[in-house]
Amino acid sequence: MTVKAIVFDYKTLFSRDPTVIAEMQVVLRWAQDCGLRICILTTDPMDVGTSCTQHGYPAPDLHVQQADIPGRKNRGSPAWIDVVTSGLAVANHDLLYVGSTSMDWRTAINSGVFYFHAKWCGPNRDTCIVIESPRDIAGHITQFLMPEPRFSFRYDDPGRKLALRSLLPASATLPAGPPSGSFKLQDVFTYHRAIAVGQSKASNMLTFHAISSLYVEGMLPKGSLFCVYPGSKVGKLSEELEQFVKPAASLVHGYYKDDLLVRAVEAPDTSLARVRARSAGLPSPVSIENQIRTVHLGAKYRGRVKDKTVIVFDDFTTTGASLEWARNLFVAAGAHQVIALTIGKYSTRYSTHDPKPGVSVDPFTLSTLGLNDFTEITHHLPEDSTNPSKMANLFNREINDLVW
Q: What is the pLDDT of residues 281-323, one digit of tens each?
A: 655 656 799 899 999 999 999 999 999 999 999 989 999 999 9
Intra-chain end-to-end CA distance of the chain, in Å: 23
Contacts of 179 (CB under 8 A, 6+ apart): none
Domain 5-145 CATH superfamily: HAD superfamily/HAD-like (3.40.50.1000)
Identify which of 32, 103, 43 has the alpha carbon closest to the alpha carbon of residue 68: 43
- Bridge partners of 64, per DSSP, are 41
Same fold, 5-145 and 153-380: yes
pLDDT of the residue at 126: 73
pLDDT of the residue at 403: 43
Q: Which CATH number fits domain 153-380: 3.30.70, 2.60.40, 3.40.50, 1.10.3470?
A: 3.40.50
pLDDT of the residue at 402: 47
Is 77 within 8 Å of 107 (Cβ atoms)?
yes
Query: What is the spatial distance between Cα 282 and Cα 275, in angstroms, rounded to a whole number?
Result: 10
| Residue-by-residue DSSP string for 4-38 | -EEEEEHHHHS-S-HHHHHHHHHHHHHHHHTT-EE
Query: At 377, is the secondary structure helix, strand, or coil?
Result: strand
Identify which of 297, 306, 289, 398 has the alpha carbon closest to the alpha carbon of residue 353: 289
Q: What are the domain boundaries of the chain? A: 5-145, 153-380
Model's pTM, two decimal places?
Answer: 0.91
Query: At 228, is the secondary structure helix, strand, or coil?
Result: strand
Q: Which stretches of the chain score pLDDT less than 70?
A: 1, 236-254, 269-286, 401-404
Calculate ∠ Cα 36-86-150, nearest 5°: 45
Is 361 within 8 Å of 305 (Cβ atoms)?
no
Query: What is the spatial distance between Cα 171 and Cα 54, in angstroms, rounded to a whole number?
Result: 53
